[in-house]
Amino acid sequence: MFKEFGLSIAFAVLVSLFVSFTLTPMMAALYLPVGEPSMPRCLQKVWQRWQVGFDWVTAWYGRTLRCLLQGFARILWRVRISLLLFR
């Protein structure tokens, strides 16, 4: 029973992957306008502020993740050294 369920999930994922790489871009190319998007001036200001905030959050996330991963690597090295020293 679990094997059949797993196969149906795998098949559904493969079909979804195929659709996302083929059908979705073709439909987007048909419906989206070509060229620069135009928006009212009041929305441009809001969009610019949003983009500045989003860039700040993205940079903060990258710095935080880098710091945490470097700390994790240090911890792993300490564990490895401890395991080698105190066998």
pTM above 0.75, yes or no: no
Tokens of 62: 């990258």
Query: In angstroms, what CA-CA distances link 61 with 46, 65, 66, 67, 80?
Result: 22, 6, 8, 10, 28
Residue 60 to residues 25, 57, 71: CA-CA distances in angstroms?
31, 5, 17
| 64's tokens | 């935080």
Q: What confidence tens digit (pLDDT) does each residue in 44-67 have?
A: 889 899 999 999 999 999 999 888
CB proximity list for 47: less than 8 A, separation 6 or greater: 39
